[in-house]
Each structure stands twice: as structure tokens, then as C-alpha cells.
Amino acid sequence: MISIKMPLAKLNKLIREETFSSEEINEEILDELGFFVLRNFFSEQLVGKYKKYYDDYKVSPEFDRTPYHLTEVKFSLENPLAGMLFENEFKELVARFFDGNVGLYNIRIVKKDHDDKSPVFLHQDIGYQYGSFNRYSVFIPLTECNNDNGGLIFIPGSHKFGYLGDVGEINDILPKDLARAAPKIFPSDLVVMNSCLWHMSGQNHTGKERVYYDIHINHAADPASKLVILGEANREYELNYDRDFVFKSSRTQRLQKFYQSTKT
Ligand SMILES: O=C(O)CCC(=O)C(=O)O
Ligand SMILES: [Fe+2]
């Protein structure tokens, strides 16, 4: 019985030849590998401006890593960090997706540094999100991100398995000779990732900052859009995704009830 099958020769060749890294997005490669590294896209001034906003935010009283998440830092759309969404350079990037009709699902920072050095386990994001399955993360580094400081690692082709029907840490059942991509990326580069892609990150060994924006986009008309970044929304379907509004007895609600009952 086959336990896992992937087109290894094809995937390894595409990784070995670094076809995922270029100054132009190759949509075929993004579709084949599930991620793409776009080089030298943003100006240094732009990235520098937002790194400064991050540094200011970091010393403010509101700044905090999300409890129960290893790297996430949330901020509101009023925070200067959210200004990235309205920058022409960012709009030029997202115009390549969803025929130029692009909605925001979520914007956040995922960071490692002297305080937060932990690796992030192998997972896919899609099961943590709602709305359609047609969605991407745009990771914009505000610092150099590499193996030493716990940069992201992508499993080529793994998005082709689709949604796995549950969330959490995935067993490393991948073929041993499948190449993994741990691209070194610099401020002004960015990574686009299909939300079904399996990914992880290693320990931050140096304590040097590793800071990415994770800007999560979907079609502007997706009922899960928080706002329209570009183009037309024309929403025929809208839904308030408040869990207690939508669900009568969901897995998460039942887990919450279970934990509450064990506390008393
Ligand atoms: O910060 C990281 O290294 C990974 C974070 C991540 O993939 C997630 O929160 O979904
Ligand atoms: Fe993730």
C-alpha cells in the first residue's frame, strides 16, 4: 500500500534549479510548488519605514506576542503597520492575484527574536481559516530571515494534498529524499504561499530578529474578506463568521466546553 506519493523527480528538479526564486512571479511554479520567492520587489525605503514602525510598536505597552502562539503579534488596522496594505508597491503586488480583485483576510506579524526562539511545527494554515480555499499568505520580511534565525521552511508540492480535514502538527511522513526549501530572504524580497502548503520553521539560534509580515489575501468577493485592498467586491454572499452565531455544536465549542468542565 502506498502511504504517500509525490512526483519527487519533478519537485526536486524545480527546487534544485531554484525556479521558485526570481524578480518576476512565475504562476506555473507557484501552482506546482505552492510557494514563490519574489526578489527585490519592494524599495528599501518602504521596508525601512515599516521596520521603524515595528520597532516603535515593539517598545509600546500594547505590544505582545499572542498567548498560545509561538510567533504571532497582532495589531489593529489603525496601527501604522497596517499602512502597508495601502501602499502602491503592495497594491502592485496583489494586483497579480484574483484578477486584481483582492480582499484582506488578515494582517499580522510573525516574529522570532531574543525573547521568542522556538521552532514552529509542521502544519498547513488552511484549516485555521474560513471562507473559500483559494487563498495565499504574503510574507514580507522586515529583517533578513534565514536558517540561523528560524526562517520559514516550505515543503514543495504539499499543497496538492489539499485540506487535511483537521488542524495541528503534521507527522513528518514526507518522502526522505524530497527537497525542502529554506530560502534565505532579505528585506525587499517577499514570499507568496498557498494556504494549503505544509510549512514550518526552525529554532532561532542567534537571537537575531526574524520578522515577517504575514498578509493573508483572498478574492475581494470572498465572504471572509475584511476589506477590499484592490478592485471590486460585488459580494453576493456574506456571513458573520462569529463561531457562536454560525455553529450550534462545533468541534471547537465542544472542546471548550470539555476543558471548562475539567477546570471546575
Ligand atoms: O512564525 C513562523 O515561523 C510560522 C508561523 C506560521 O506558520 C503560522 O502561524 O501559521
Ligand atoms: Fe503557518
Q: Tell which atom from ligand 1 comes closest to the C-alpha of 201.
A: 3
Ligand 1 atom with minimal separation from the 119 CA: 3
Q: Smallest Cα–Cα separation from 207: which of 65, 112, 72, 69?
A: 112
Q: Calculate mean pLDDT across residues 138-160.
A: 98
Mean pLDDT of 137-161: 98
| pLDDT tops 80 at residue 264 | no
Q: Show the beta-strand stretches assigned E in the chain.
A: 21-22, 35-38, 72-73, 102-112, 120-123, 135-141, 152-154, 190-194, 199-201, 210-219, 227-230
Please state, in angstroms and rounded to a whole number, the distance separating the CA atoms of residues 190 and 177. Answer: 27
Contact (CB, 8 A) for 147 and 184: yes
Q: Determine the distance separating the centroid of ligand 1 and the alpha carbon of 184, expressed in angstroms.
A: 16
pLDDT tens-digit readout, 185-223: 999 999 999 999 999 999 999 999 999 999 999 999 999
- What whole-number distance in Å separates Cα of residue 193 and Cα of residue 139? 8
40: left (phi over 0), alpha (psi -120 to 50) or beta: left
**Ligand 1 pocket: which of 70, 126, 204 to mutate (most atoms <8 Å of CB)?**
70
Query: Which domains can be identified in the chain, with CATH numbers?
Result: 8-239 (2.60.120.620)
DSSP state of 263: H
95 band by pLDDT with thresholds 50, 70 and 90:
very high
Q: How many residues does the chain have?
A: 264
Please tell me the distance between residue 264's alpha carbon and the centre of ligand 2 in angstroms: 33
Beta-carbon neighbours within 5 Å of ion ligand 2: 125
Distance CA 206, CA 208 (A): 5
What cell does 65 get?
506576542
Which residues does ligand 1 sit against, CB inside 6 Å? 71-72, 110, 120, 125, 152, 199, 201
What are the pLDDT digits (tens) for 25-74? 999 999 999 999 999 999 999 999 999 999 999 999 999 999 989 999 99
| CA 128 to ligand 1: nearest atom | 10
pTM assigned to the model: 0.97
123 within 8 A of 193, measured Cβ to Cβ: no
CA-only gyration radius of the chain, Å: 19
d(C-alpha 228, C-alpha 234), whole Å: 10
Among 129, 199, 203, 215, say which to mutate for ligand 1: greatest number of ligand atoms within 8 Å of CB: 199
- Does residue 123 surpass a pLDDT of 80? yes
